[in-house]
Chain A
Amino acid sequence: MSVTPPASHTSPPSGSAFILKKALISALVALVLFSLMIGIRTEAGNQGGLIYWTRFGDLATMVGLVFGGSIIVELLRQWFGPVDTDRIVPKPVRRAMSFAGGLVAPALLVFALFVPVIFYDQRYILDLAILVLTYVMLGWGLNVVVGLAGLLDLGYVAFYAVGAYSYALLATDFGLSFWVCLPLAGILAACWGVLLGFPVLRLRGDYLAIVTLAFGEIIRLVITNWQSLTGGPNGVSGIPRPTLFGIPLDNSDDGLAAKLGIEFSPTHRLVFLFYLILAMALLTNWVTIRLRRLPIGRAWEALREDEVACRALGINTTTTKLTAFATGAMFGGLAGAFFATRQGFISPESFTFQESALVLAIVVLGGMGSQLGVALAAVAMIGGFELFRGFDQYRMLVFGIAMVLLMIWRPRGLVGHRAPTVYLERSQAISSDLVKEGHG
């Protein structure tokens, strides 16, 4: 309710007694669980009979670890404190921090521009950077729907798939070039966004999420089963690579390398793809920032805040939601077309629910509505995922723990506050506990 003042913060219980009690409870639970899992080891003996032996030493170590870990976690939590309490930070430090915060975005942009120069010899890093930027673009696209309009969309991958297949089929069946197909893929995906939007407009919150989830699956199943058009599970192969306005990037006689008179290297294409996705992602960002300052963008955010009030102000909530869906879908479609041209081969396997979940996780982790937060989250998620590749089977575990810790520390995402779209005197960030998440 808009009238309720922010709840007064009752300080959570602290003190050594509380911590000790909590740690003891954790240790007790661990003891019960681990006494059978670790404390007793069973095995089939030589004669086929069951033999067992006890490992109370290991059990004691585990319980001790849980006890100690619980104390450390609780201490850390009290040290960080809940997000909405004002931490005692000296004013100059805070000012310096906000100044540094303002520099993050430009620094990141400049760094992105020089990535191919710095890492020219490292194909792996270039590949990874392209992947990260694809997810940045997807995150920014979904941010319009989830972050600004507050419509929870779990089937975003559907538009990614529509864009990818649009380009793949138009290019392989009709021989259209990438630059013709790119806007077509965007428009087609936007149309699908509107198509999805119509039936789901009456739904709110969880129901909306479930229907969009189903929509994502339907698209994938249709692609898998419509063999004659999409090639079914075999996918579409031989998708043309993008050209630099008609000049191919290969080692043929009229390729770019030959024309410029330099030696051909496959890295040229990677660099080109990198700048292509960077430009597309930046376009997404620019359009979104622009839209936020236009009446339509403000209406999206107003819709997230209070739909009833929007109707009382004469805002057509139906078309406003549809435009949000269509805009988000368009960016997803553009990213999909890029994905198809980068891979050269697409199949339904690339468009599973996991992709939707990953993009949504990026948006939520970044702080819904924040462009910078989404970019940082994409770097952290995709980059971090690669970083933990060495951990092999523990990768998901480490990653899950990292996510949980981050959400405890910053429940509203990396960048939780909202920047106003217009101001008279000064633009001041709006704290996240005032901003609504939207209910669909």
Chain B
Amino acid sequence: MSDAPILTVEHLMMRFGGIVAVNDLSFTAERRKITALIGPNGAGKTTVFNCITGFYRPSGGAIRLNRDDGRTIQLERLNDFRIAKQANVARTFQNIRLFPGMTALENLMVAQHNALMRASGLTLLGLLGVPSWRSAERSAIELARTWLKRIGLLERADDAAGNLPYGDQRRLEIARAMCTEPTLLCLDEPAAGLNARESGALNELLLSIRAEQGTSILLIEHDMSVVMEISDHVVVMDYGVKIAEGAPQAVRDDPKVIAAYLGADEEEAIAVMEKAN
């Protein structure tokens, strides 16, 4: 296992016509750590995510994923589904994107599509029902059951995903991403719309994923209680550029960050802080 950072973003640039959404952004995400990407609305966080997960092709820069086996994958050259398939990067969405008409269990089975396709001999062996396919299917269901248990939804495995409460849908989406057995898990505002108790449970889930699966996590979050409690490293963005980076505590006290969030000048923010102290 290498100790190189799991993800290295260098001089990332994303333009939409004349608008520069992300401008010369560089940061790294450490292996088996939780890295948070924060910033005010419109700072370009989700754009960065879309570049990393292949939904956008960056206008410039490099995104390198260093796999556990030492191989390096240039994510900016892959696109679409290949990032999830070949580089094992999984993601969730800001506005939950489950398959609402399928059950919770089916959602987790779809996530194991690529592994199951291989096991079913590209459908042919599966159609004939050979034993190796049957056992592969059983173990896929077992994996799904394990995850349903971990997110506390075992009871509702056979309910339609669209019928689950909001908080459960959020957790199910994370479980679905984990069922692809990713090396890097990207979460886009996982705590959005959750109450204090639910976001506490989310923190525990993310910490246990890091501890047990050793998955590196990159997350966008507005909920500071989540960011401060669980992240190991925080990157702050504003207007498409990085304005601060470091440990959660250090970032929280950074005048630039406060200024960005308050929408004020840096001097004003310093004045406010000094007064508070």
Contact = CB atoms under 8 A, between A and B. Distances in A.
B158 to A, nearest CB: 5
Interface stretch (B14-22, B35-43, B64-72, B78-86): B78-86
Given A2-B162, A294-B120, A311-B80, A430 B101 contact: yes
Interface string B78-100: 00111111000011010111111
- Chain B interface residue bracket vs A: 35 or more
A252 interface: no
B114 A434 contact: no
A421 B126 CA distance: 14
Nearest to B54: A311
Nearest to A427: B158
A436 interface: yes
Contact of B90 (A1, A298, A312, A323): A312
A415 to B, nearest CB: 14
Given A422-B109, A425-B158, A316 B81 contact: yes
A298 B113 contact: yes
**From A291, A305, A428, A434, residue with most partner B Cβ within 10 Å:** A305
A54 interface: no
A301 interface: yes
B116 interface: yes
B163 A312 contact: no
Nearest to B79: A311
Interface in B137-179: 141, 145, 148, 154, 157-163, 166, 169, 176-177
Nearest to A305: B99
Given A308-B97, A424-B105, A315 B81 contact: yes
Contacts of A420: 102-103, 105-106, 158
A13 B140 CA distance: 50
A314 B81 contact: yes
A424 B113 contact: no
B127 A287 contact: yes
B156 to A, nearest CB: 10
Contact of A313 (B103, B110, B141, B148): B110
Nearest to A421: B106
Contacts of B120: 294-296
B117 interface: yes
A231 to B, nearest CB: 37
- Chain A interface residue bracket vs B: 35 or more
A422 to B, nearest CB: 6
A2 B96 contact: yes
Contact of A430 (B83, B103, B123, B126): B103
Contacts of B177: 312-313
Interface in A288-313: 290-291, 294-296, 298-299, 301-302, 305-306, 308-313
B111 interface: yes
B105 A422 contact: yes
A418 interface: yes
A431 interface: yes
A434 B163 contact: yes
Contacts of B54: 311
Nearest to A313: B111
A3 B162 CA distance: 7
A99 interface: no
B216 interface: no
B209 to A, nearest CB: 17
A291 B91 CA distance: 27
Contacts of A426: 158
B127 A290 contact: yes
Contact of A434 (B106, B126, B162, B193): B162
A424 B101 contact: no
B180 interface: yes
Interface of A: 1-3, 287, 290-291, 294-296, 298-299, 301-302, 305-306, 308-317, 323, 418, 420-428, 430-431, 434-436
Q: Nearest 7 A-B pairs (CB), nearest first?
A: A314-B84, A435-B101, A314-B85, A305-B99, A295-B116, A434-B162, A309-B97
21 contacts: A2-B97, A3-B193, A294-B126, A301-B106, A302-B102, A305-B99, A305-B101, A309-B98, A312-B177, A313-B110, A313-B176, A314-B81, A314-B114, A315-B110, A420-B106, A422-B109, A422-B141, A423-B103, A426-B158, A434-B160, A434-B162
Given A295-B112, A296-B120, 10 more contacts: A2-B99, A290-B126, A301-B106, A306-B99, A314-B83, A316-B81, A422-B109, A424-B141, A426-B158, A430-B101
